[in-house]
Each structure stands twice: as C-alpha cells, then as structure tokens.
Amino acid sequence: MKILVIGSGGREHTLVWKIAQSPYVEKIYCIPGNPGIAELAACEKMDVESFDSIARFAMDSRIDLTIIGPEDPLANGIVDYFQDAGLRIFGPSKLAAEIESSKIFAKELMHKYGIPTANDKTFDNPDDAKAYIRDIGAPIVVKADGLAKGKGAFPCRDIKSAEMAVDSIMVLREFGDAGNRIIVEEFMEGEEASFIAFTDGKTIKPMASAQDHKPIYDGDKGPNTGGMGAYSPAPVVTESVHKKIMDQIKTAIKGMSAEGREYKGVLYAGLMIKDGEPRVVEFNARFGDPETQAVLPRLKSDIVPVMQACIDGDLDKVQMEWTQEVAVCVVMASGGYPGKYGKGSAIYGLKDASAMNNVIVFHAGTARDGDKIVTSGGRVLGVTAIGQSIGSAIERVYKALEKIHFENAYYRKDIGYRALEHRGSKG
C-alpha cells in the first residue's frame, strides 16, 4: 500500500511512525511533513487546504489511503472532496466534523441526546455575554465557537478575566471568525481525561485513555495551549468510568447518525471527571495532539487495518491489543508560546535523546536549515518515553529532555503529576 498523511505536527509524525510499522505499507507520503517525518516518509510541500492539488497528487501517486491529521482540512470538507473524486480517505465528513468545528453545535447535540456536559449559554454580542457573566458570577468558562487550535477556551476565576476573554474573542478578534459566537459555560471541577475511539458509524473501538496538560505552566497554571504533554493510561479512567464514557461516545455516534451526519474516523472526547462521573468538555473530530504521542506507542496492533475497517464499515471484525506499559510525552516549546515566540533556533541533541532506550522524539514545529534542524513553531518537539510504571516513564522522559537544547526552550516539569498522586493515594 501507498499511504498519504496530511499534516506537519507531532501527531502526524506519530501517525507516520506507527503506519511505517505495518507490513501492508510499502511507501508513505506526507503533506507537508517536517524533518522528523522526512526520515520515514516522502514529504511534499503543498498547501493542506489546496484539496484539488492534494487529490491530483494522490491520483498521480496511486495513493491507496489518505489519513488526515489536523482539524482544519476536515472542517473544510477534504473527506467529501476526496470521496467525490473516488479516493479512499480516513476521517469524518464536513457535516460530521462540525462536532469539533462548532462548539455550539456540539453542545446542542449533547443537550439533545442527554450526554452529560456543563450548563451553558450562547452569545453573538459581547455586551450581552458580559452582562450575563456579571449576573451569574465566576468561576466560569468562555469559549470561541469555532476552531482556535486548542487556545479558544478561557477558564476564568473572576469576572474581570471573563470579560477580558469575551473581548479577546469577540472584540479583538484574536481567533477571527471562530469568535463570531461564544459559549459561556459552567466551570466544571474535577480531573481531565482524554478518550479517543475509532468508529465506522456503528461499532466503536476505544483507544487507551490519556490525560493532557493544557495550561502552559506547572500546576496547570496560565493560559491554555494546544497541549504541553500527556500520559497514557490515565488512572482517573477506572473500569467504571470507562464504561460510562463508552456509553457517552455511543450516544454521540448514534445522535450524529440520527442528525444525518454519519460519523466515521476517530472521535475524541475531552472529559472532566469528578467523583467517578465523567462529563464531556468537548468533542474533537481527529486524533489528539499530544495525546497521540502517548497513546499510539502503546498500541501493539497494526493501525492500518483498523483505519480500513472504519472506512468499510466492518470495525467489528478488528481487534486492538495494547501494552501494559506507561507512556509519557512532554512537549518542548519555544519560549513565549502560546503568545509570540521566535523561530530559527538550532536544535541540538536530537540524536542523543533518540538513542535512549524506549524514547521516541516526535517533531512538531521544526524545519531544516541546511544541515541543521531549527525551530519553526510554538510546540517544537514531543519527547515520549515508555516505562513499566508512571514513575519510571517520567524519569526517563526528563532524562531525554535534558539532552536536547535550543534557545529559549521551555517545557513543563510536572507532566504526569496527577498519575503520581493516584499512585500515592493507593499507598
């Protein structure tokens, strides 16, 4: 098989890394890719929103399967475009991807079908939103309706910061048209978890659980990012909680079908869990980033037949096997992220870190400058380590991080701390 992966981040590097292990695959292409991906796949510099150019490339290269990493092409209908051209592609249609591209649509779906989530109200006028915030008080969460690369949600502990969040989204237009409407919702207390499942529209096969770390600073402080690290499995997802989450995912998939939006691909549920009760924070229409960097290294099975089965509607015939080991991914970012940051700094120590046993370095915001690898994004690398326990995986990943250097490099020092707390609570 010839496979094409769309995207250029750490998630896509992980997908390519996993796909390269399949005996069915003879060649992998990636658009546009990055230097890490280029070690495993042929990278083609092309605009990921130029569906016509990508489709022509897929035809000319006789691609057997295309896999979409980022959310924007899904939201803009790349799956529909490829299917209309007779090309085989993994991911949800434009209508189905609206479960991520519109938080308001997702909330309406959850309320209609009884999926537990936060109470909320929708606004298209900033003054009305601020009046409502002053009326009900804080803590509260303000969210842009559309896609904002993981940065459009503002958990606010006081009224002033909530009003500032409204202005950032609707007045200053920091996220463009994604902020035409906003959701103001209840602040949910608890512990976060990420749950990703494959589906063919009927059958659902869960991936291993994970926990992301969204805020930029240790102790989950500061503004939200696209994710500063993740680990898998997440101890907060007990057997009982797992069953409840699966019921919620099943309800969402059935609800989408009832709405005429059959859902095929992967569905990601971001959750808040308190006292053993999960509530959905958001749905995403693709693999999580950086959760994928912690989850896929634990998948023993070949991922390609799973994706094929999602497309063909026979996912019930496929089994997935997971290791019992723990994986921890820590994101190395450019100083200043998620705000303004520099680019072009040389990265040193990549080979030393990659040479470590049970360590994988996934490229995210990197570029090649002559014979050097340099920074080119906010989240630069995702360093993943595998261990027999959460403690050993954390120790290994931070030893690997010490080997990598670039100007103004930043990473959180506490990724996995909640898992350690769970371990400690058990004595």
For residue 19, the domain's CATH number is: 3.40.50.20
pLDDT of residue 138: 95
How many C-beta neighbours within 10 Å does residue 324 have? 7
What is the residue-wise DSSP string for 100-123? HH-HHHHHHHHHHHT--B--EEEE
Give every CB contact of residue 260 below 8 A, 6+ residues apart in sequence.
Answer: 95
Residues 382, 71: Cα–Cα separation, whole Å: 19
Together in a domain, 153 and 241: no
pTM of the model: 0.96
Residue 101 domain-assigned? no
* Domain-located, residue 97: no
Please give the pLDDT value at position 149. Answer: 82
- Domain boundaries, position 152: 125-180
Give me the tens of pLDDT residue by residue for the chain, a chain 427 residues long.
999 999 999 999 999 999 999 999 999 999 999 999 999 999 999 999 999 999 999 999 999 999 999 999 999 999 999 999 999 999 999 999 999 999 999 999 999 999 999 999 999 999 999 999 999 999 999 999 999 987 899 999 999 999 999 999 999 999 999 999 999 999 999 999 999 999 999 999 999 999 999 999 999 999 889 999 999 999 999 999 999 999 999 999 999 999 999 999 999 999 999 999 999 999 999 999 999 999 999 999 999 999 999 999 999 999 999 999 999 999 999 999 999 999 999 999 999 999 999 999 999 999 999 999 999 999 999 999 999 999 999 999 999 999 999 999 999 999 999 999 987 655 3
Across 39-176, the runs of DSSP E, i.e. the strands, are 42-43, 65-68, 89-90, 120-123, 140-144, 153-156
Domain shared by 35 and 140, yes or no: no
Domain boundary among 285, 317, 349: 317
Verify that 337 and 400 share a domain, yes or no.
yes
| Number of helices (H), then strands (E), in the chain | 14, 23
Output DSSP code: residue 30. E
Are residues 313 and 341 located together in one domain of the fold?
no
CB 333, CB 401: distance < 8 Å: no
Asked whether residue 185 is assigned to any structural domain, the reply reads no
Query: Which of 180, 209, 226 finishes a domain?
Result: 180
Q: Are residues 66 and 16 in the same domain?
A: yes
Take residue 118 and report the two structure tokens written for it: 């936060």
What's 164's domain CATH number?
Answer: 3.30.1490.20
Residue whose tokens read 């805020």: 215
pLDDT at 426: 53
**Is residue 19 located within the same domain as residue 55?**
yes
Asked if 197 and 308 sit in the same domain, the reply is: yes
- Tell me, yes or no, whether 342 lies in a domain: yes
pLDDT at 51: 97
pLDDT for position 427: 36
Q: Are residues 208 and 301 in the same domain?
A: yes
Same domain, 330 and 261: no
Please give the pLDDT value at position 151: 84
Can you name the residues that pair with 235 across neighbouring β-strands?
A: none
The CA-atom distances, in angstroms, between 357 and each of 126, 224, 362, 385 are 52, 32, 15, 9
Domain assignment present for 115: no
